[in-house]
Structure 1
């Protein structure tokens, strides 16, 4: 009777082993596949939405700052035939920046009423610019109105939009990080549980049925390890790559874009000083912006990093200081009443002129910014490639495990028929 009872108990225990093991395999399959797909979607959202929005918002602030700087050059050169080349250059750059601003605003649609407010204020600004360029002797008054709209309405709104975009980017990173941690924890916990169940079932079968090896269970164990270990590795590596891309490329890019915009606005203060008949406010405003750019949190930090050579950083700082010296010379000429010389030195586009010095500085900044943008894009591309196929790989591999477990005990059940 004891042997009969044990005989009836064995199939039930075997059925329980198989059921628990198969359900664990299904749970591992579902969680790994779903979470991998979620991570893949979040990486795509960062690379195609959150990061480009943050970069676009930074670009918008820069483009608005340069627009006003070019308008100031146009006001200063209008009616002076000897500065026709500078006027054409300023007009072309103003139009280019205008198209850049319009494109940025289009890409940022959906960010709430702040974009609509920006569009409204931009139309007012452009109206004041048109009046300044056609008013003749009254140009200075209209330009003052235009630059007030820029500094009181447009730039603060662009700054707010930039902050919102960066907050959105941070939230996207945090959400992906949380999903990645959950995916790793789930894969490790369920993977270890499944491997433990498969090994325990192998040992139990060996003791109960005197079968030392079960090829199907061995294959299922190998397949489980073969999918869990790479999945965990992929999740860890993609997290490391994206974190490095944000810290070493994206954040430095955004910081440099911000500093670049401040430098453009500072350069426009040089022109504003001449337009306003040496109003001290613009001198003080330039000094304030220059102090920020020269400070530890300005260009020395924004233009430096592991991705930048010391030579590149030095070029940015040296060229900015050269423009700052040009600014001082222009103000000195203006204070001496030599306005024509000051305007010629400011707006000229030949080597040695202030406009050339600033363009030379900006080229060094643009080189670093482009390198950082390319590095971030490369990191996003390689991360996406790393995750390719992973929502489906667990389905194929663990699906085979689900089939192998019942197959491994089919002959054992046949002994009780």
Structure 2
């Protein structure tokens, strides 16, 4: 009996092979479905969040916001996490604010301010070098000035060594300042030429054996080249270095005062949030666990409040010390340092006036300009300056709040802050008046044809002579600078003491203790739910 393939398949479960129809002659075989390219469909729509997901997200948010969600364990854990986070935030804020205060004070007090005063000292040293060079030509080979000539040479060498030292330090300080580097390099490049010209002038003067006040034309020509080089290139470059450092001080001061002001408020805000979180945690424990107080959390709250108060106090103290160091002390130091530098250049103008008659008018005007830079009186001429200064000084002595003149000395007298500063500044004013009176006598003697007497009065170091009184002026300026420099150093030392490694260690210890006490205070309550 025969069975069909279909029947066998049905009986055995096998799949019957499909029979293929014979291909017709000349017809092409059509490709199968797998070989056909998929038809191009419409572009896919952008991915969208399924409406169900949004619904679930909204339900979750409502659940978290509902009162039923916040079971006691969840509430305690959430408030604990918030408390720990705000405590860490308080520590980070305090570190940032107080660290910035320390860095700002360090930049101003230990870097920028000393560099600015050092640059002013460079100007002073260069100016006095030229004053001594002019005095050497002025005294000539006159045997009456042998001792004075030796003293003048010694002073010239001292100032040259001082200028070299100031230049080395200025070059190191200007390493990161392209403009300052160029200015320092200009002084370095020209100082050797200046010294060579001065040496040539001295040699020619010795060879000429010229009398006092009448240098040889060759020596005078060499000195003119030297002093022109100094006044037109060296001194402006030195002043540029001073100005660049002053600008740095002003910028750093403004930035850090702003940072301290905003930092105080940030510290207060973060501290209050931390206290609020801790109080909220304690309240939750008191309500949910029926306990009046949690000793560990109470300790953390007290510690946080004390730390916040101390941090705010340190920020305020840092700001006060910064104001003292910069506005009260440094501003006076730099004004007085500039006054001393300009005064030495002014003193050189006095000697140049006697040394070089053909340029006497120009040097006389230069003397007046520098006089006005130290104590400016509106509309003053050289002939009438002393009378105006006497009246202005009398007004100031009658009322120290009245400062009827400007200039560097006016800046200082308007910024009297520290004990002993007023007396020191008044001595500067008195010495400046006396020096100006000496200068008018020198000019009167020269105009009267009494040149040697004018030279003696100008270069003499005995009491009543110009260089003696100028030395009194220089000493008074130095004493006033010292008062302010001491105050600045004290303010800087106070900030360094407030924000030293001990303070950092205590702050880190307090933060660690607060975090540990918070965890210890909560842990026993959460264990009850295990």
Give the TM-score normalised by structure 2: 0.74
Partner of 2:417: 306
1:172 aligns with 2:283: no
Partner of 1:358: 470
Q: Against the structure 1 CA distance between its residues 310 and 36, is the aligned structure 2 distance closer, same or farther, given a 3 Å change threshold?
A: closer
Asked whether the equivalents of residues 33 and 390 of structure 1 are also in contact (C-alpha less than 8 Å), the reply is no
Equivalences for 1:173-212 in 2 at 5 Å?
Answer: 173-212=253-292
Q: Give the drift of 1:259.
A: 1.6
Give unpaired runs (5+ residues) of structure 2.
1-66, 206-215, 377-404
Give the TM-score normalised by structure 1: 0.93
**Deviation larger for 106-115 or 178-187:** 178-187
Q: Give the drift of 1:58.
A: 1.6
Equivalences for 1:332-371 in 2 at 5 Å?
Answer: 332-371=444-483
Q: Show CA shifts across 1:203-247 (max 9, x none).
A: 111111101110011011011011111011011111112202222
Q: Against the structure 1 CA distance between its residues 25 and 379, is the aligned structure 2 distance closer, same or farther, given a 3 Å change threshold?
A: same
Aligned match for 2:523, one of 405, 410, 417? 410
Aligned match for 1:55, one of 117, 135, 145? 117
Partner of 1:118: 187
1:150 aligns with 2:263: no
Aligned match for 2:312, one of 190, 215, 232? 232
Q: Identify which of structures 1 and 2 has the higher relative contact order when contacts are C-alpha pairs closer than 8 Å and 6+ apart.
A: 1
Partner of 1:102: 164
Aligned match for 1:39, one of 86, 90, 101? 101
Partner of 2:365: 284
Q: Against the structure 1 CA distance between its residues 151 and 231, is the aligned structure 2 distance closer, same or farther, given a 3 Å change threshold?
A: same
1:159 aligns with 2:239: yes
CA distance in 2, matches of 1:287, 1:17: 74
**Deviation larger for 331-340 or 118-127:** 331-340
Q: Give the drift of 1:265.
A: 1.3
Q: Give the drift of 1:310.
A: 4.7
Give unpaired runs (5+ residues) of structure 1.
none
What do you get for the CA RMSD once the two structures are aligned? 2.0
Asked whether the equivalents of residues 197 and 226 of structure 2 are also in contact (C-alpha less than 8 Å), the reply is yes
Secondary structure of the 1:212 match is coil
CA distance in 2, matches of 1:291, 1:164: 23
Q: Against the structure 1 CA distance between its residues 240 and 332, is the aligned structure 2 distance closer, same or farther, given a 3 Å change threshold?
A: same
Aligned match for 1:75, one of 120, 137, 140? 137
Q: Give the drift of 1:354.
A: 1.5
CA distance in 2, matches of 1:125, 1:58: 19
Asked whether the equivalents of residues 102 and 495 of structure 2 are also in contact (C-alpha less than 8 Å), the reply is no
How many residues align? The count is: 413
Asked whether the equivalents of residues 97 and 315 of structure 2 are also in contact (C-alpha less than 8 Å), the reply is no
Partner of 1:10: 72
Secondary structure of the 1:392 match is helix
Secondary structure of the 2:503 match is coil
CA distance in 2, matches of 1:322, 1:133: 31
**Deviation larger for 188-197 or 301-310:** 301-310
CA distance in 2, matches of 1:159, 1:299: 15
Larger Rg: 2
1:252 aligns with 2:349: no
Q: Against the structure 1 CA distance between its residues 181 and 123, is the aligned structure 2 distance closer, same or farther, given a 3 Å change threshold?
A: same
